[in-house]
Amino acid sequence: MPRPTKRTAPRMPLAVYVLGLSVFALGTSEFMIAGLLQPMARDLDVSIPQAGLLVSAFAIGMVVGAPVLAGATLRLPRRTTLVALLTVFGLGQVAGALAPTYEVLFVSRVISALACAGFWAVGAAVAVSLAPEGAKARAMSVMIGGLSVANVLGVPAGAFLGQQAGWRSAFWAVAALSAIGVAGVLTLVPRSGPPTGADRPVLRRELRIYRQGQVWLTVVLIALNAAATFCLFSYLSPLLTDTAGLDESWVPTVLALFGVGALLGTAIGGRVADGRLFGTMYTGIAATTAALALLALTAHIPAAAVALAVALGVTAFFTAPALNARMFEAAGAAPTLAGATNTSAFNIGNTIGPWVGGLVIGAGLGYKGVAWAAALLSAAAVGTTFAASRQYRRTAASRKAAGPPPEGAPARAAGPAA
């Protein structure tokens, strides 16, 4: 009797892992400022809220860069585009490491973010195109995994390195990772032109998604969820030291725990989101609101501050897969701009959150006030989820009443389970 052949998963090309490593560098640069606020503020002679705006500076570049570069690079060779964008990003890190003033550092963050947004737009398409059949989703998980690992390892490592060798050393480390990424892309990513024929995205057609109310509601929802998270996360380091009374040496550990929570939340949320998108969003955002409110009440207790920071990582990122899926559902047959719009919405929140937190601190309300402001933003996200759910149900009901589309008419994208 012949022995049954064992099925093995298709092997992922090394080029995809190189792209994941590059995303690790991008994600580390975007979020490591949270662990470097105090030494940067002291060295550049600025306030903590001003230093916090460096998070917003990166987010502004991502907001602008994602849709613009997603459209601008459609006709360019992909490997050349990846190398150019990653090189610009690396040079932005060098400029940040050498920045003599706060203003120069701010500009370097915006330029780095523009390159980061473009790399995301092209890199995701390249990763999927390089993956063998049956491994497309796994290729995307490698890309997203680079961002998750950046939260778990890169951000606390940047904070630790900044404490031991100065905050500029963290920028030099990211620049070195970028150089490794450039070498890897040149070596392993094959030469290829842009998509052609039926696979070629048409920008004019994809722009039609902005006529849909569900897309805009989803943009607001993603932005509010991100604003709530990063309003608090951007000032987590001084909250831990000034309000909870922990030593600065604790900051990298707590940031690492936040990252572990984020990784756990993403894994759980990804498993349950396919079945009930809106249910996952309600659960995650409501839990985030509760965690932020409890943190505002108990931030002076060190153990509570640490535990709730970890809980925030879990709840905020538990919602992320559902929010991503909802954008692609709402955008229908416009995947290029759906991904770019999702990135922009996230970074709109990442811009607003630190700015709101800075206003609260400037008003003398302290870091507990920042937690309250974040909780209010999260509560607004719960309300937006309710509005999006109602509109989705109304749209689904009207489509059901209208009956199936005529034969030959383009199919509508299926909606999520509510």
Tens digits of residue pLDDT in 104-156: 999 899 889 888 888 877 777 677 677 776 555 556 656 766 776 787 778 78
pLDDT band at 407 (very low <50, low <70, confident <90, very high): very low
401, two tokens: 């009443």
Per-residue pLDDT at 27: 85
pLDDT, tens digit, for every residue of 355-403?
899 899 888 888 899 999 999 999 999 988 888 888 777 766 555 555 5
Q: For residues 407 and 6, give the distance between their C-alpha atoms in angstroms, rounded to a whole number.
A: 43
Helical residues (DSSP H) of 274-334, grouped into ranges: 277-298, 302-318, 320-331
Instruction: Give the count of beta carbons closer than 10 Å to the beta carbon of residue 108.
Output: 23
User: What is each CA distance from 224 to 120, 142, 205, 266, in whole angstroms?
Assistant: 22, 27, 28, 18
pLDDT band at 413 (very low <50, low <70, confident <90, very high): very low
CA angle 229-57-164, nearest 5°? Answer: 80
Give the rounded distance of the alpha carbon of 69 from its chain centre: 17
The CB-side HSE value for 140 (13 A sphere, CA atoms) comes to 11
Cα R_g (the chain), whole angstroms: 22
Q: Which residues of 131-160 are buried (b: 16+ CB within 10 A; e: fewer)?
A: beeebeebbebbbbbbbbbbbbebbbbbbb
Is residue 415 over pLDDT 50?
Answer: no
The CB-side HSE value for 364 (13 A sphere, CA atoms) comes to 0
Per-residue pLDDT at 237: 85
Q: For residues 389 and 379, give the distance between their C-alpha atoms in angstroms, rounded to a whole number.
A: 16
Among 146, 167, 155, CA closest to 256: 155
Phi, psi angle pair for 54, to nearest 5°? -65, -25
Q: Which position has the higher pLDDT, 60 or 167?
A: 167
Q: Which residues are within 8 A (CB) of 219 and not within 5 positions of it... i.e. 6 or more apart?
A: 327, 341, 344, 345, 348
Among 104, 89, 88, CA closest to 40: 104
Among 11, 24, 13, CA closest to 187: 13
Q: Which residue has the tokens 């970890």?
A: 310
* Mean pLDDT, rounded, for 194-199: 57
SS (H, E, C) 148-184: HHHHHHHHHHHHHHHHHHCHHHHHHHHHHHHHHHHHH
273, two tokens: 């989101």
403 Rama sector, left if φ>0, alpha if ψ -120 to 50, beta otherwise:
left
As to burial, measured by CB atoms within 10 angstroms (0-12 exposed, 13-18 middle, 19+ buried), residue 411 is exposed
Is residue 164 over pLDDT 70?
Answer: yes
- The three-class DSSP label of residue 403 is coil
Q: Which residues are within 8 A (CB) of 158 and not within 5 positions of it... i.e. 6 or more apart?
A: 28, 32, 35, 36, 170, 173, 174
Per-residue pLDDT at 259: 80
Per-residue pLDDT at 202: 61
For residues 21 and 90, the answer to whether their CB atoms sit within 8 Å is no
Phi, psi angle pair for 5, to nearest 5°? -75, 140
Is residue 99 over pLDDT 70?
Answer: yes
